[in-house]
Amino acid sequence: MLAQKKSSPFLMGYRLYVVAFFIFLAAPLISAGAFAFNDSLFPALPWQGFTLDWFFSDTEPKLGMFHDRRLLQGLYYSFVIAIFVAMLSVFVGTTNAFLFVRGEFPGKNFFYILMVVPLVIPGVILGISILVLASDTANYMENRFDLELEFLRPGLLLVVFGQFSFITTITSLVITARLKKFDATMEEAAFNLGASRVRVLRTVTLPFLRPAMIAAGIVAFLVSFENFNTTLFLVGSEAPLTITMYDRMAKVGSTPVLNAVSFVLMVGSGLLALLSIAIQRDKTSQ
């Protein structure tokens, strides 16, 4: 298993296996991206020549993604949802980090496990349970007080809450890990120099946490952007991109415009992921 000696046939085989694995990883992504540039009405071989029509053409039957109103709307809603989820979950993730690293209170271990639990609940369950509670509350208010609480019906707000419910665990874990590495003498030094609590937090502790907060925000943004399971049950008329694409796939079948969207999303999230890694790396060199 371990290949103590270099360049043994065993190690060669091992390397081949690793290469095969990465081909397996890349294959569906390449096929999803590459057919965006095929000049054909179907995302399939044979290759009919290079085109950018599936991005920029403004006429049917090859309506490009940048002229497809429903896809653009989906992209817009995904953005709005992901930004709200990222901000909310980074905020709560930061307070959670302080709570569990600095706070001393009874039942701390129990609450810590409670914080991790949302990550191991299937997304479908989170979606339906929030849908049930919100609808029950809305129905109750309607029957009892004749109040119509529109925001508790499926829509953007519920989608944001549904995604926030488990993404906060991820951001909390990332920021907690960073806060644990904080050297408390830095704060003490600032206190000794006469700084107030708020000032120490603003000028010493938060700057130290910033790389982790940004990285957690990017992760939250990406996870929100690609979420499907939780969103599926909470979505109203404002469908985010994954739901719009799924609808398109189910109703129209696969068309190369979906490949174009896939290509754009892959490039976009790839860049964001690299950015978050660059920030994390910066952090370790500090």
Partner 1 sequence: MMQNKDIKRLSLILLFSPFALWILLLIILPHIGMVLLSFREKVAPRVYEYSFANYLDFINEPIYWNTLLRTGSMSLLVTALALLIGFPIAYYIAKIAGPRARGGLFLLCLIPLWVSDLIRSFGWILLLRETGVISNFLLWTGLIGEPVEFLYNDIAVIIGLVYTVILFMIVPLVSTLDGMDNSMIEAGYNLGGNGFTVLRRIIIPYAMPGIVAGCIVTFMLTAGSYLTPVLLGGKNSSWFTEQIYNQFITRFNWEGGAAFGMLLLLFTSVVIWLGLKLSGQTLANTVAKS
Task: Name residues contacting partner 1, limited to 51-90 (CB under 8 A).
Answer: none
Quick one: 59 or 198, whose CB is closer to partner 1?
A: 198
Quick one: 58 or 202, whose CB is closer to partner 1?
A: 202
Judge contact between 53 and 39, C-beta under 8 A: yes
| Binding-site member from 58, 136, 142, 148 for partner 1 (CB under 8 A) | 136
Q: Kindly state the smallest distance separating residue 122's Cβ from partner 1, in Å.
A: 3
H/E element holding 243?
A: helix 241-251
| Binding-site member from 130, 209, 234, 257 for partner 1 (CB under 8 A) | 130
Q: Kindly state the smallest distance separating residue 90's Cβ from partner 1, in Å.
A: 12
Angle at the Cα of 88 from the Cα atoms of 84 and 92, rounded to 5 degrees:
170
Quick one: 59 or 122, whose CB is closer to partner 1?
A: 122
H/E element holding 89?
A: helix 69-102
CA-CA distance, 227 to 122, in Å (whole number)? Answer: 12
Tell me the one-letter amino acid at 39: D
Interactions with partner 1, residue window 150-189 (CB under 8 A): 161-162, 164-165, 168, 173
Q: Kindly state the smallest distance separating residue 241's Cβ from partner 1, in Å.
A: 9
Determine, following the binding rule CB under 8 A, whether residue 222 of this chain makes contact with partner 1: yes
Quick one: 63 or 99, whose CB is closer to partner 1?
A: 99
Determine, following the binding rule CB under 8 A, whether residue 280 of this chain makes contact with partner 1: no
φ and ψ at residue 50, rounded to 5 degrees: -85, 140
Per-residue binder mask for partner 1 (CB under 8 A), 86-125, x = binder: -----xx--xx-xx--xx-x---x-xxxxxxxxxxxxxxx
CA-CA distance, 153 to 157, in Å (whole number)? Answer: 9
Q: Kindly state the smallest distance separating residue 113's Cβ from partner 1, in Å.
A: 6
Inter-residue long-range contacts of 64-73, CB under 8 Å, 24+ positions, other chains counted: 64/257, 64/260, 65/257, 65/260, 65/261, 65/264, 68/257, 70/244, 70/248, 71/241, 71/244, 71/245, 71/248, 71/257, 71/261, 73/238, 73/239, 73/244
| Binding-site member from 14, 66, 191, 208 for partner 1 (CB under 8 A) | 14
Collapse the DSSP code of 8 into the 3-class scheme (helix H, G, I; strand E, B; otherwise coil) and give the result. Answer: coil
Number of residues that bind partner 1 (CB under 8 A): 89
Quick one: 58 or 271, whose CB is closer to partner 1?
A: 271
Quick one: 26 or 189, whose CB is closer to partner 1?
A: 26
Determine, following the binding rule CB under 8 A, whether residue 12 of this chain makes contact with partner 1: no
Judge contact between 12 and 22, C-beta under 8 A: no
CA-CA distance, 230 to 149, in Å (whole number)? Answer: 22
Q: Kindly state the smallest distance separating residue 126's Cβ from partner 1, in Å.
A: 8
Per-residue binder mask for partner 1 (CB under 8 A), 15-54, x = binder: --xx--xx-xxxxxxxxx--x------xxxxx--------
As given in the structure block, the two tokens for residue 92 are 């709560």
